[in-house]
Amino acid sequence: MNVRIFAPAKINLTLKVAPPRADGLHPLQSVVAFADVGDVVEAEAAEALSLRVHGPFADRIGAGEDNLVLRAARLLAEQAGRPAQAALTLEKNLPVASGVGGGSADAAAALRALNDLWRLDWSNAQLAEVGARLGADVPVFFTCGAGAYMTGIGEICTAAPLPALPVVLINPLKPLATPDVYRAFDKMKLGAALVHDGAPSWRNAEDALADMRTLGNDLEPAARALLPEIGDILAACAASAQVRHAALSGSGATVFAVTADLDAAKSLERDLAKRHPGWWVRQAMLGA
């Protein structure tokens, strides 16, 4: 039996971040959308636990014991009271440390794949509970919708209906560690108390764009201070008539650029890839 699970990129369409709590963690509110580009995790029956990594960004991560896919497998086996036996394969298509939740998506996909392979029949809520022990970003991948609204430190998630949004994802192919961005955020004394309005209700793309422009991403100034190339990407997007809105996703350094339609997204992808061959540029659909 072979189980293959897609691990989508997670794009923060909005991100409000408060100052740190007493434990150093930051409360947040974020509307996220799942893209049709991402990694892939496969699981096959085996007598022992192993992981093989391939794909465009395989050389940026290891297959060692600290890999989130292996950690997810060991934790699920422990919680299920069974041996951790599976041959796992990770196709790494997303840039590493890029603000699109790649590692968390991989961990969630591994939990899903092994839930099927081992015939555990655990619910999404049970898998999300296991995932929360691996990272605050993991549970959102079990909300089972086009998007989600994240609160708490990211671990409280509810499904959020979203309009389909054609986008182009752009990354300068320079990793940006989330802890570094939050340290810069705190040093710059950014963040404010959150207004608890609940998940926004977006009837169409115009509603979504209006809120995205108003709410923005509170981590962007800190991320740009650490990696000026983010500013270069945003400037390139601002200069394009095809871009309706562009902003940073998560802690960066991936920028998403919303276009009017899929043809415009494909055209923008071609243009940016030609002008900036050192960038990772991918057309995608969100909320579809």
Task: Give the active site residues.
Answer: 10, 137
| CA 115 – CA 260 distance, rounded (Å) | 39
| CA 220 – CA 231 distance, rounded (Å) | 10
Contact between 19 and 26 (Cβ < 8 Å) = yes
| CA 126 – CA 44 distance, rounded (Å) | 22
* Chain centre to alpha carbon of residue 265: 20
Q: Per DSSP, which regions of 145-187 are E strands?
A: 147-151, 156-159, 165-171
| CA 218 – CA 251 distance, rounded (Å) | 9
DSSP helix/strand/coil, 224: helix
